[in-house]
Amino acid sequence: MRAIDVVGSAIGNSFRSRLRTTLTVLAIFIGAFTLTITNGLGTGINAYITDTVASIGASDVMTVTKVSADAKATGPQEYSPDQITSRAAAGPGSTTVAAITPADLTTIAAIDGVTSVEPSLSVTPDYVTTGTSKKYRLGLGSAVAGVHLQLAAGSQLDQKAAQLQIALPVSFVTPLGFTSSADAIGTTVQIGVSNPAGTVNVLNATVVAVSEASLGSSGNATANTALTQALYDASTSGLSTAQKESYSEAVVRFDPSSTDAQVTALKDHLTSAGFTGQTVADEIGTFKSVIDAIVLVLNAFAVIALLAASFGIVNTLLMSVQERTREIGLMKAMGMGAGRIFGLFSIEAAFIGFLGSAIGAGIAMIVGSVVSTALSGALFANLPGLTLIAFTPVSIITIILIVMAIAFLAGTLPAWRAARQDPIESLRYE
Amino acid sequence: MSHPILAAYDLKKSYGRGQNRFDALKGVTLEIFAGESVAIVGKSGSGKSTLMHLLALLDKPSTGTVQLGGSDTATLRGKRLNETRNKTFGFVFQQFFLTPGASVLENVVLPLKIAGVGSRGRKQRGHAALERLELDDKARSKANALSGGQKQRAVIARALVNDPRIIFADEPTGNLDSATGAIVEDILFGLNRDQGITLIIVTHDEDLAERCDRRIYIRDGLVVSEEARVAA
Ligand SMILES: Nc1ncnc2c1ncn2[C@@H]1O[C@H](COP(=O)(O)OP(=O)(O)OP(=O)(O)O)[C@@H](O)[C@H]1O
Ligand SMILES: [Mg+2]
């Protein structure tokens, strides 16, 4: 028998007892549907996190802090005038780190694997206004070089430009009196920043972008290098050089093509020099692995559903082998090899698996898209860019193939039974 | 005379072992020549079907040899055995063994499908076989929509679709009333006469046996007598 005829007959046979096949397909459908949805959740959320990583910082950037000499000691720590309470530090409470001085920057720059190092200037401006609008308090996101913003309008900040550029969050558009995000682009806003003496300096910055709110930019504006520097200078005016040039963090750039091992090596080098390096991926990675773990658990449930369904396949096919005993015997008598008989039944199983998984995945994709569209308009309206359930062709094909493989395995028992049937026994008259 | 097309030498077949051992065939020797029609006759349980299964290479004898076209078949195995059966033999069983849901044509071309004939060739040869049995107008009908006689004709069409040299028929008319049975007999003997297909009929119907060139009587696993047709 030709292979194509084996496949054709197998498919034809699966339609012979429609009700039974339908019920089995339904069982697989449930498993495949669940698997597709849970995978889609994982894909959607992780894709969102990945996008957010790009909006938080470039992948070739590491935030470096200096380990305070007595950081390891427990109990009250002795005060040192060098210490800075890091404002950028995440998590509950703030971490006390030692200030990074120009000498430290030189040390860091010399470390193997560091392409460049810049101090991370942290500035807290007082307000922003268009001049005619009210003054609004303004948070400024740390201006990490290589930042990619998710834009509602405009273009990315030019970090090399001498022009003072700012990206405003979309929530500022209406309060500042712009009619739309696009309307804000190209206008000049005034930013007030006060120095330690209490004098407020006003700087003019050009709005080049309006950024969408996301996990990364949580309602903060973002400044380009020139504006950050100008704001920093304004906010530190009147301080001594030593005070000015003491930073809580530095930003290290490394070769973007570095492998994970190389990044780890770089971190180790930093650690032995008394610093701590953290990439954006480190910060976001924990979050991602939590999502992955949840998806894995959900997938496990889906796979359990599939395993249950595969017993349905075994049952269905055992019944049809039973029913078709005569036919199998006849085919064997007429010279059909055992291998082909095996193929006939196992392919039928795989086909049932294919039907269930293709329909399951298809409907899951429709349902998933509808649900995530509905949710992103309602529940997740403040997280634009989040597609809760996303599908990639690769994962859909993988799911279908996995289900088909499970179905095929389930089919091997009945198929093996059919294959080793004795034609004489099968044809014996009753 | 030339080589027999099919021959059995001292065939023994026993089922079970030890206490439960049962000798179904106790040393059968026979030779069947191309173009002959042979009836294997005997009471129920005498070993007719067992003998037919051995001759049709569906089973292996405990001892003894079956020769097909002069060569021993004991060495045939796996693919070659399947191919030999597919190309050489056609089967008509007491029951029809038609797949009820499939069309008559699909049922008839099953041996061709197994042989690996392409779908166009199958269709053509299937229709040709059905035409010979005047069943072509039923080609598209479902097999279970046929009458008993039509079913048996479809089965015969299936048996000869692959141009076999030998057709085995185990109680071919056992399931039919005498009128349709006679028609089916006519068809089988017509094939034997017109196309020289060797016919081996297992039966306990004396009338059917009478129409064969030769009758081999079996009792308790042994050939008790052979007789050729008395020239009319
Ligand atoms: N698989 C088997 N195991 C044990 N005994 C068997 C087996 N097959 C056949 N026999 C025995 O061998 C003997 C011959 O059986 P066989 O089927 O050849 O008889 P038969 O002549 O075809 O009878 P009938 O005319 O009723 O079909 C019987 O006694 C039967 O019980
Ligand atoms: Mg019998």
Q: Nearest CA of chain B to the CA of A406: how many Å?
A: 28
pLDDT digits (tens, 9 = 90+) for A41-69: 888 887 877 776 666 555 677 888 887 65
The per-residue pLDDT of chain A, averaged, comes to 81
Across residues A182-197, what is the average pLDDT?
A: 88
Instruction: List alpha helices for chain B, DSSP H.
Output: 48-55, 78-88, 104-108, 110-115, 119-132, 148-160, 178-195, 206-210
Q: Above pLDDT 70, what percent of chain A?
A: 85
Q: Nearest CA of chain B to the CA of A378: how many Å?
A: 53
What's the rounded Cα separation, in Å, for the pair A87 and A204? 25
Across residues A72-88, what is the average pLDDT?
A: 57
Look at A85-89, B107-111, B206-210 and tell me which has the smallest mean pLDDT.
Answer: A85-89
Given an 8 Å threshold on Cβ–Cβ distance, is B91 in contact with A334? yes
Given an 8 Å threshold on Cβ–Cβ distance, is B114 in contact with A330? no
Nearest to A331 by CA among A227, A204, A427: A427
What's the rounded Cα separation, in Å, for the pair B180 and B187? 11
Given an 8 Å threshold on Cβ–Cβ distance, is A326 in contact with B97? yes
In a mutagenesis test of the B interface, which of A5, A17, A330 is the best target, namely the one with the most B β-carbons within 10 Å? A330
What does the pLDDT read at residue A88?
40
The CA B49 to ligand 2 mean position distance, Å, reads: 4
Chain B residues whose CB is inside 8 A of the A424 CB are: 53, 58-59
Q: Would the pLDDT of B191 be above 50? A: yes
What does the pLDDT read at residue A93?
38
pLDDT digits (tens, 9 = 90+) for A247-295: 888 888 888 777 778 888 888 888 888 888 877 777 677 677 777 888 8
Q: Whose CA is nearest to atom 19 of ligand 1?
A: B45
What's the rounded Cα separation, in Å, for the pair B68 and B45? 26
Q: Which residues line ligand 1 (CB under 6 A)?
A: B 15-16, 22, 24, 42, 44-50, 204
pLDDT digits (tens, 9 = 90+) for A158-174: 878 888 889 888 888 88
What's the rounded Cα separation, in Å, for the pair A368 and A206? 41
pLDDT digits (tens, 9 = 90+) for A19-46: 888 988 988 898 889 889 888 888 888 7
Residue A358 confidence class, pLDDT cut points 50, 70, 90: very high
Q: Which residues pair with B6 in a beta bridge?
A: B32, B68
Q: Which residues pair with A168 in a beta bridge?
A: A210
Judge whether A47 is closer than 8 Å to chain B, CB to CB: no
Q: Which helix (H) or strand (E) holds A314?
A: helix A280-323
In this structure, chain A runs to a length of 430
Judge whether A326 is closer than 8 Å to chain B, CB to CB: yes
Chain A residues whose CB is inside 8 A of the B78 CB are: 337
The CA B47 to ligand 1 mean position distance, Å, reads: 6
Q: Would the pLDDT of A362 be above 90? A: yes
What does the pLDDT read at residue A250?
84
Please name the amino acid found at residue A134: K
Q: Which helix (H) or strand (E) holds A150?
A: none
Chain A residues whose CB is inside 8 A of the B111 CB are: 334-335
What's the rounded Cα separation, in Å, for the pair A249 and A267? 15
Residue B151 confidence class, pLDDT cut points 50, 70, 90: confident
Asked if A21 contacts A320 with a C-beta cutoff of 8 angstroms, the reply is no
What's the rounded Cα separation, in Å, for the pair A403 and A406? 5
Residue B232 confidence class, pLDDT cut points 50, 70, 90: very low
Q: Which CATH architecture has domain B6-228?
A: 3-Layer(aba) Sandwich (3.40)
User: Judging by beta carbons within 10 Å of its beta carbon (0-12, 13-18, 19+), is residue B174 exposed, middle or buried?
Assistant: middle
Nearest to B4 by CA among B65, B90, B49: B65
Q: A49: phi > 0 → left, psi -120 to 50 → alpha, else beta; which?
A: alpha
Question: Which residues, at least 6 apart from A179, have a Cβ–Cβ distance to it below 8 Å?
Answer: none
What does the pLDDT read at residue A67?
77
Q: Would the pLDDT of B25 be above 90? A: no
Nearest to A77 by CA among A103, A98, A104, A100: A98
By Cβ distance, the residue of A5, A329, A335 closest to B85 is A335
Asked if B198 contacts B167 with a C-beta cutoff of 8 angstroms, the reply is yes
Q: Which residues pair with B26 in a beta bridge?
A: B12
Given an 8 Å threshold on Cβ–Cβ distance, is B116 in contact with A5? yes
Q: Would the pLDDT of B32 be above 70? A: yes
Q: Nearest CA of chain B to the CA of A342: how many Å?
A: 14
What's the rounded Cα separation, in Å, for the pair A349 and A406? 9
**How many Cβ pairs within 8 Å bridge chains A and B?**
57
Ligand 1 atom index nearest CA of B22: 5
DSSP code of residue A59: T
pLDDT digits (tens, 9 = 90+) for B93-124: 878 888 888 888 888 998 999 888 888 888 89
Q: Whose CA is nearest to atom 2 of ligand 1?
A: B15
The CA B202 to ligand 2 mean position distance, Å, reads: 8
Judge whether A325 is closer than 8 Å to chain B, CB to CB: no
Q: Would the pLDDT of A86 be above 60? A: no
Q: Taking CA atoms, what residue in B is nearest to A333?
A: B58
Residue A397 confidence class, pLDDT cut points 50, 70, 90: very high
Chain B residues whose CB is inside 8 A of the A429 CB are: 93-95
Q: Would the pLDDT of A401 be above 90? A: yes
Q: Would the pLDDT of B202 be above 60? A: yes
Look up residue A49 and give its two tokens: 């996190």
What's the rounded Cα separation, in Å, for the pair B44 and B21? 19
